[in-house]
Structure 1
Amino acid sequence: MTKLPPLRDVIARHGLAARHSLGQHFLLDGNLTDRIVREAGDLAGRHVIEVGPGPGGLTRSILASAAANVTGIELDWRAVAAMEELAAEAAGRLRVIEADALAIDLSDLVPAPRQIIANLPYNIASPLLVRWLRQAALFERLTLMLQQEVAQRICAGTNTAGYGRLSVLTQWTCDARMVMRIPPAAFTPPPKVWSAVVSLTPHDVQPDPTRFSRMEALTAAAFGQRRKMLRGSLRALGGEALLAEAEIAPERRAETLSVAEFDRLLGIQAGFSMCRGS
């Protein structure tokens, strides 16, 4: 690529003032975006999907890697225009799609091997992640920047304040690690909170869609009222009989159950549901 204009100039030229309604906070420091891309590992031959590229700071770092190509999904038409300028310099390695990432199916977007590398908009990070976990088998790795609080919940262990439904769903399907913390001052405009980067590597064996949906329902019930004992929170799914079959004490609370225990509970609960005719 030819020498690219400073990102602040791109923002000014396209009127790309960050919009709170879109959860936008732009990371312009090339050293940090390069480091995020390095956390994704060797990208040679990989087809990378980026969500919410904004003015293209992280995109530039991905293009500077050995990635085969980059597909950017962007809802903000102002950023789409900025990204199309970058695509013109990328010798066919960058494609820009104007779309809502929550409404687009990534399965047919690019061929394998696929990776997602993204600075996720704060306001849709969690629903986006759960959507991708349902299709985790499609991806080699996901390298995601989110609010630090969300990153901590993703990686939280049992019996911690952050451990919850998102922790279980993520760790059930992926090896999850927090690999970077980024201060508010690194962003334009600065958010009120720290951010963090998580690296998610999907397990070799993944649940089918029906099993994943059942785990969503199970964890929603278990964590829906965190202060309740499992005998109460899981009453509609089998209650004490279900817990007895799984050899889990009914007075325990959801945050004390390991991911393996949730998986065991899920298998038994599926049998309960069949017996009930659901």
Structure 2
Amino acid sequence: MSFDAAALPPLREALEAHGLMARKSFGQHFLLDLNVTRKIARLAGPFNGETVIEVGPGPGGLTRALLETDAGRVVVIEKDGRFIPLLQEVADAAAGRLQIVEGDALEADEAALAGSAGHVVSNLPYNVGTPLLIKWLTGPWRPRSMTLMFQKEVADRIAARPGSSGYGRLGVIAQAVCEARVVMDLPARAFTPPPKVASAVVRLDPRPDGPAPALVASLEKVTAAAFGQRRKMLRSSLKAVGGEALCEQAGIDPTARAEEIDVAGFLRLAAVRRG
């Protein structure tokens, strides 16, 4: 699966040749350092010949690094049509291994693009990162692995532990479905243009004994109630979904607050609520 990124123009030259700049409305911040994108690709692999989906490739810095790996195919989903001609130049050098999809990743059918054996690796646009993660955690298509870049605050929330300030609904759902860990921090200066915040890469690997979709749906409702009123005791915040009786059936202290309950505890609450 040979791909020679050096055969292509440097990313900055390619952007200048096409007259392209990042758009704030799309939450775009480009990674142009191939040393950084290659490290992300290494952290995401191995792919064992399977398909990798990348959302928001922009000029294709991470795309080039992914094509250097053992991925069978790379599918990029890009909403900003300005980048399609530039990405096509990468595709022309990729011997059929790069598929370009112009559209909104929130509406994409990943199963049709990657089949059941797909991975997701992306420097996610800041404005859609969390909705996309929730889609992949709770939707009908579950990737084999996800290696995703977020604002550092969001990355820390995904991997947060009970009792910490960042622990909340996102972390509970992510950790119920996957093993989640922060694998790389990136300062703002690594990007063009630099964002106002630092970023971090999170690796998520589905748990082999993870919850069934129906339990995840119940977990979404329980965590929405619990963390929607996180300062209240669970007997109050969970009133709409069962309150004190729900807590007692799940073996949870009804006077506890949401941030004190671990992922296993929330899964018990979700299971009891589902009945």
TM-score bracket for the superposition, by shorter chain length: over 0.9
Residue 170 of structure 2 corresponds to residue 166 of structure 1: yes
**2:88 corresponds to which residue?**
84
Residue 129 of structure 2 corresponds to residue 96 of structure 1: no
What CA deviation, in whole Å up to 9, does each residue of 1:62-108 have, x standing for no partner?
01112111000000001122111111111100000001001112122
Q: Which runs of 5+ in 1 are unaligned?
A: 272-278
**2:159 corresponds to which residue?**
155
Separation of aligned partners in 1, 2:274 and 2:216: 12
Separation of aligned partners in 2, 1:90 and 1:238: 55
Identity fraction in percent: 52
What CA deviation, in whole Å up to 9, does each residue of 1:122-145 have, x standing for no partner?
011000000000148732211111
Aligned residues: 271
Contact 2:247 2:254 in 1 (8 A): yes
Separation of aligned partners in 2, 1:199 and 1:250: 33
Contact 2:218 2:271 in 1 (8 A): no
Separation of aligned partners in 1, 2:66 and 2:187: 21
What CA deviation, in whole Å up to 9, does each residue of 1:228-268 have, x standing for no partner?
11111100111111111122121110000000000111111
**2:261 corresponds to which residue?**
257
Separation of aligned partners in 2, 1:194 and 1:138: 28
Matches within 5 A, 1:34-113: 34-113=38-117
Pairwise CA RMSD: 1.3
Separation of aligned partners in 2, 1:111 and 1:268: 33
Contact 2:176 2:211 in 1 (8 A): no
Residue type at the aligned position of 2:161: G
Instruction: Indicate which of 203, 219, 222 corresponds to 1:199.
Output: 203
Separation of aligned partners in 2, 1:207 and 1:256: 21
Q: Which moved more, 1:211-220 or 1:116-125?
A: 211-220
**2:20 corresponds to which residue?**
16
Separation of aligned partners in 1, 2:126 and 2:258: 26
What CA deviation, in whole Å up to 9, does each residue of 1:33-83 have, x standing for no partner?
000000012223121100000000000000111211100000000112211
Residue type at the aligned position of 2:175: Q
Separation of aligned partners in 2, 1:199 and 1:231: 34
Instruction: Indicate which of 29, 35, 46 corresponds to 1:31.
Output: 35
**2:147 corresponds to which residue?**
143
Contact 1:46 1:112 in 2 (8 A): no
Contact 2:116 2:141 in 1 (8 A): no
